[in-house]
Amino acid sequence: FPAFLRERGASTWVSGAGMTLLLIAGALGSYVVGSLSDSHSRLHILAFVTTAHFLSMLVFLRTDNWLQIPIILMIGFLEIAAFPVLMAMVQDSFTEDRAFINGLFLAMNFLGTSLAVPLVGRLADLYNFQTAFQLAAWILPFGLLGMGWVYRINKISRLV
Tell me the pLDDT tens digit for each residue of 40-61.
888 889 889 999 999 998 998 8
What residue type is 131 in one-letter code?
Answer: T
Q: What CA dihedral angle connects 8, 11, 12 and 13, to 10 degrees?
A: -130
Can you tell me the distance from the alpha carbon of 24 to that of 28, in angstroms, rounded to the nearest whole number? 6
pTM score, whole prediction: 0.81
Provide the strand spans (E) within 16-132. Answer: none
- Of 142, 32, 148, nearest to 81 by C-alpha is 32
- Give every CB contact of residue 64 below 8 A, 6+ residues apart in sequence: 8
Mean pLDDT of 60-67: 83
